[in-house]
Structure 1
Amino acid sequence: MRKWGVTSFIAYWISDAFNASTWQFASSIIAIGLSWRESLGIVALAFFIISFVIALNGAIGVIHHCSFPALARASWGFWGSYIAIVSRAVLGTFWFSIQTMNGANTLRVMLGAIWPSFLTLKNDLPASAGITTNTMLSFFLFWLLQIPFLCMHPNKLRWLFMAKSIIVPIAWVAIMVWAFAETGGGEMFSQQKATLSGSAYSWAFLSSLTSVIGNYATLSVNQADFSRYSRVSVKWQLIYVPFLPIVFTFIAFIGIASTSAGLSKYGAVYWDPMALIENWESRAARFFAAFSFALAALGVNISANSLSAANDLTALFPKYVNIRRGQLICAVLCWALVPWKILASAISFLNFMAAYAVFLGPIAAIMVCDFWIVHRGKYDTLALYQPHGIYRYTYGVNWRAVTAFLIGVAPNLPGFINSINPSIEVGVGGRPYQFGWLLGFVSTSLVHVGLSAIFKPQETFVEKSVGPDDVYDATGYVDGESERSGSGEEIGREKGGWKERLERIL
């Protein structure tokens, strides 16, 4: 089932990059007081940093062809991995709901272009609901449209990503052309300096950087969910390092140009692209522009969120949940998260992104450091599926990873609590939260590597990396070679001593 080539991965990342959140990065950073140059610099720096983590964790999936939940067992322990799995399942479901809300806004504009009276439907919902009747209907319809795609196997989804990587960039470049043709770039490009200064500027810079990283922190953890299907060499994962900063920064630039054009033409800062598109007079232009954003939201919601949550749920409830059922469960749970309130303003959007990164930074750090530094790139694929195997550690839990995770998360908790309930005063205790991903990643890495060096888990080390194609069954056949002629003993000798390995496994 290894059907993903280089083209598939490039299409996948272009598909992921072109979504409303990426468009909003720089615009929402400008909204809190930084200049357009600084906002683009923050986006480029954020993706340069996160691209290394994505590439390193993606490479583990290519080598062992396992999903994130299975790979997490090697660093967290067979049962300890549930800490990381549950954390990512919850966060993946959260982000699924956010992208569904983005998709609902695009669908509302599309329906308004076809049926103008839809936008003026009587609102029967109270103001406290934070959403209108037509937006709620759009949310339900977009949620419903996602269901068929949630039932597809990941190998088939690569065609969706390829289609999106062609259609959406063309539409967004056209919007950028409109922005420069209408206003010549607008007023934002004339702003050369930030409106903030001193410590306020520094903290705004750090919090914005963390927010941008947090948006794709989930993919720094779950890249193996897709790279496991790779049929190309592991070295191709390194393409992310130059590719991601360039693509994401370009899309953020489109967002700035369009927002700037909206400011000059309509007199308001529309950091939400749908709010900008709604001002266009041409109904056809509104429809097709909104369609491109709807397709963008659909693609990223599946690739980054529903499949992540589904893989986690299959690990938590393997007897009852497969990937298809897991995605459907994720879709049902998103209703409970009221995403329309999270996306109420630029400030709340950035706060949510920062909160999202608090837990994923330490998780990514543990996986990267454990494989590449502690175990020096040597895992045993078969042992990842053995509850009482070499990755059992202490009662199934690697206390080193758990300790490192808690130390990485703890400094961010006061700020995290304050972001949930601003009435709770935490004072300077909230400062670490503003660069939570970086702090969590670095501190967790140091603690995990340090504890693993002092209290070395000897039983987890293997002399040679054992990949999925190196695992022998009881007859001596390598996986996929049962059709070959010759006795099991002959093939065992050819491949290098299956009997000795089988003895050790048993």
Structure 2
Amino acid sequence: MKFARPALRVSQPKSAFADGSGRWTNRDLDPVPRHRRKWGVASFIAYWISDALNAATWEFASGMIAVGLTYRESLAIVTIAFLIVSVVISANGAIGAMYHSPFPVLARASWGFYGSYIAIVSRVILAVFWFAIQTYNGSNSVTVMIGAIWPSYLRLLNHIPAEQGITTNGMVSFLVFSIIQFPFLCINPNKLRWLFMAKSIIVPIAWIAILIWAFKSTGGGELFDQKVTVSGSQYSWLWLANLTSVIGNYATLSVNQSDFSRYSRVGVKWQLMYIPMLPIFFTFFAFIGVASSSAGQTLYNLAEIPWDPNVLMSYWENRACRFFGAFTFALASLGVNISANSLSAANDFAALAPGYLNIRRGQMICALFAWVLVPWKILASAGNFLNFMSAYAVFLGPIAAIMAFDFWLIKKRKYDSLAMYQPDGIYRYSAGVNWRAVVAFVVGVAPSLPGLINSVNSSISVGVGIHPYQFGWLLGFFATTLVYLTLSYLFPVTEALIEHPVYPDEVYDTRAGIIVDGVEPEDYRISTQIVHKSAC
């Protein structure tokens, strides 16, 4: 058996989009041809159910209740937040469903080739940090699983200094989860639909079973009798701040939903299903977290509410229940880590160095960061770090706004898919940078910077400067929209305003002599017609 020798550069077969512009693309960044679009309606529903099921959703209400709000306000905030962000996710997801390119490529149409690096780097920083943290969360579930099978595992002699923020069994669990996670990082996104489908069936059944246990054992606990402890302006600012925090948790996907919608084989209109679907899913799963955690506090007579589901499950007497309960949360962490973090980071890494990085290599780099960033030490030694990561969403609101409004209002849905791979084409702007987008981005982010600094270091007082940050995503989104639209209309880029859109299928079908995934054009046209008819 002969094995291919590993090469430093990634493979890029001759394609219409790489012809003369190989510096800007590779096989994974090219538009997805028809015969490789495998995601249907069921796949996207399963993907989003999978994405909603994770420990963060379970704990959405915890921070809000801790600062004086009740479960009613908490669930209302979750609903409104996802109603808002789902509109943006649908708007930007539709671009990927129409042009079948990933987020880093589509960003070139609104930011310019070099300007797009602002959006790409902003996104990849968030992705790699959250990947590391979600990997650590998954390892905590592994600890509960192993402890249920082998109770002595929880009492292993610790040889790691306390200042490191992790124990010996915690390090072993992190290694185990990383090993389990690794094979999934090597699988093409088209072939991961089964993982999201499995998670969307297994985890909801388990969570609903936990909800039934909560009401059967204690009626849901005493949390439902809680009263609001804040009022006046403090109540209003807390409401806005928590709304921004919830939006921030999924602001990333409002930017790069096209990384997944590019694989769609169904019409663009199906992207609209997120608007009613996401608020319902996330609110219901957040309610399960509230009811179950409250029931645990009452049932086990705890001084504090066990918001961490792994802590809650550690009190269960039945070892089989502990194991399977923790298994569902480990599966939840695995699914959301791939869907929201590793694949997104991989596309960004590939766009930064397409000659050397593809999606698989990008995911390997992301996995390496899970160890390099030592998330256990970050969480143990820097309590404000997670505040900063949520706050980082103030950068993503402006990016999402620029991409959405550039496509729907400025360009009127008319992009040239081939020009997004040609740096000297219609999207070259000024030396590869659309200064309108950069100015709008700065205007959208600047008001929130004082509050962002305070969230990282509370000893730095910024006075009333904290308030813009408390609704930073919304402020940034709308301020950026206003500035970008104004500048784009006052200083239009006429060469980028085309009369007819150029879709990737037209390029694939008309560029004679170009090979697509090893298939000659004539055979390719026949095969895609067959696939297209069967999909319909």
Bin of the TM-score, shorter chain as denominator length: over 0.9
Partner in structure 2 of residue 400 of structure 1: 436
Partner in structure 2 of residue 494 of structure 1: none
CA distance in 2, matches of 1:9, 1:220: 15
Q: Secondary structure at the match of 2:522?
A: coil
Which deviates more from structure 2 when the two are superposed, residues 119-128 or residues 391-400? 119-128
**CA distance change for structure 1 residues 280 and 448 in 2, over 3 Å: closer, same or farther?**
same
Q: Out of 514, 521, 526, which is 1:482 matched to? A: 521
**TM norm structure 2:** 0.87
**CA distance change for structure 1 residues 381 and 182 in 2, over 3 Å: closer, same or farther?**
same
- State the shift of 1:343 in Å: 4.9
Partner in structure 1 of residue 202 of structure 2: 167
Q: Secondary structure at the match of 2:471?
A: helix
Partner in structure 1 of residue 219 of structure 2: 184
Is the 2:513–2:521 contact (alpha carbons within 8 Å) kept by the matching residues of 1? Answer: no
Residues 1:441 and 2:448 aligned together:
no
Residues 1:259 and 2:296 aligned together:
no
Deviations 1:348-400 (A, max 9, x none): 58624531311111110110010001111110000000011100000000000
Q: Out of 143, 146, 153, which is 1:111 matched to? A: 146
Is the 2:165–2:379 contact (alpha carbons within 8 Å) kept by the matching residues of 1? Answer: no
**CA distance change for structure 1 residues 313 and 477 in 2, over 3 Å: closer, same or farther?**
closer
- State the shift of 1:144 in Å: 2.0
**CA distance change for structure 1 residues 108 and 467 in 2, over 3 Å: closer, same or farther?**
same
Partner in structure 1 of residue 275 of structure 2: 241
CA distance in 1, matches of 2:104, 2:334: 24
Partner in structure 2 of residue 300 of structure 1: 336
Q: Out of 341, 358, 376, which is 1:340 matched to? A: 376
Deviations 1:87-140 (A, max 9, x none): 101111111112111101111111111111111222223332222222222122
Partner in structure 2 of residue 502 of structure 1: none
CA distance in 1, matches of 2:162, 2:236: 36
> What letter matches 2:87 in structure 1?
F
Q: Secondary structure at the match of 2:160?
A: coil
Deviations 1:159-203 (A, max 9, x none): 100010000000000000110111011101111x31122222222
Is the 1:187–1:261 contact (alpha carbons within 8 Å) kept by the matching residues of 2? Answer: yes
Deviations 1:247-276 (A, max 9, x none): 100000000000110121122311111111
CA distance in 1, matches of 2:334, 2:523: 44
Map residues 185-200 of structure 1 onto 2, 5 A cutoff.
185-191=220-226, 193-200=227-234
Partner in structure 1 of residue 249 of structure 2: 215
Is the 1:215–1:356 contact (alpha carbons within 8 Å) kept by the matching residues of 2? Answer: no
CA distance in 1, matches of 2:298, 2:426: 63
Q: Secondary structure at the match of 2:59?
A: helix
Partner in structure 1 of residue 60 of structure 2: 25
Is the 1:208–1:350 contact (alpha carbons within 8 Å) kept by the matching residues of 2? Answer: no
Q: Secondary structure at the match of 1:149?
A: helix
**TM norm structure 1:** 0.92
- State the shift of 1:346 in Å: 13
Partner in structure 2 of residue 328 of structure 1: 364
Partner in structure 1 of residue 315 of structure 2: 279
Partner in structure 2 of residue 225 of structure 1: 259
Misfit runs of 4+, over 6 Å: 476-481
> What letter matches 1:270 in structure 2?
P
Is the 1:107–1:142 contact (alpha carbons within 8 Å) kept by the matching residues of 2? Answer: yes
Q: Out of 156, 173, 177, which is 1:138 matched to? A: 173
CA distance in 1, matches of 2:478, 2:235: 23
CA distance in 2, matches of 1:29, 1:276: 19
- State the shift of 1:339 in Å: 2.9
> What letter matches 1:172 in structure 2?
W
CA distance in 1, matches of 2:337, 2:524: 46
The share of aligned pairs that are identical, in percent, is 67
Q: How many residues align?
A: 485
> What letter matches 2:128 in structure 1?
T
Partner in structure 1 of residue 235 of structure 2: 201
Partner in structure 2 of residue 499 of structure 1: none
CA distance in 2, matches of 1:128, 1:159: 41
Map residues 316-395 of structure 1 onto 2, 5 A cutoff.
316-340=352-376, 343=379, 348=384, 351-352=387-388, 354-395=390-431
Q: Mark the runs of 5 or more structure 2 residues left unpaired by the alignment.
A: 1-35, 526-536
CA distance in 2, matches of 1:54, 1:240: 8
Map residues 55-66 of structure 1 onto 2, 5 A cutoff.
55-66=90-101
Is the 1:212–1:353 contact (alpha carbons within 8 Å) kept by the matching residues of 2? Answer: no
Name the Cα RMSD after superposition. 2.1
Partner in structure 1 of residue 505 of structure 2: 469
CA distance in 2, matches of 1:127, 1:418: 28
- State the shift of 1:32 in Å: 2.1
**CA distance change for structure 1 residues 325 and 451 in 2, over 3 Å: closer, same or farther?**
same
- State the shift of 1:436 in Å: 1.1
**CA distance change for structure 1 residues 203 and 123 in 2, over 3 Å: closer, same or farther?**
farther
CA distance in 1, matches of 2:101, 2:482: 26
**CA distance change for structure 1 residues 148 and 477 in 2, over 3 Å: closer, same or farther?**
closer
Partner in structure 2 of residue 491 of structure 1: none
CA distance in 2, matches of 1:182, 1:376: 56
**CA distance change for structure 1 residues 485 and 410 in 2, over 3 Å: closer, same or farther?**
closer
Q: Secondary structure at the match of 1:483?
A: helix
Q: Mark the runs of 5 or more structure 1 residues left unpaired by the alignment.
A: 487-506
> What letter matches 1:475 in structure 2?
A
Partner in structure 1 of residue 23 of structure 2: none
Q: Out of 186, 192, 201, which is 1:151 matched to? A: 186
CA distance in 2, matches of 1:140, 1:60: 38
Map residues 406-421 of structure 1 onto 2, 5 A cutoff.
406-421=442-457
Partner in structure 1 of residue 529 of structure 2: none
Partner in structure 1 of residue 158 of structure 2: 123
Deviations 1:20-49 (A, max 9, x none): 111110133212221010000000000000
> What letter matches 2:512 in structure 1?
T
**CA distance change for structure 1 residues 350 and 258 in 2, over 3 Å: closer, same or farther?**
farther
> What letter matches 1:470 in structure 2?
E
Residues 1:67 and 2:102 aligned together:
yes
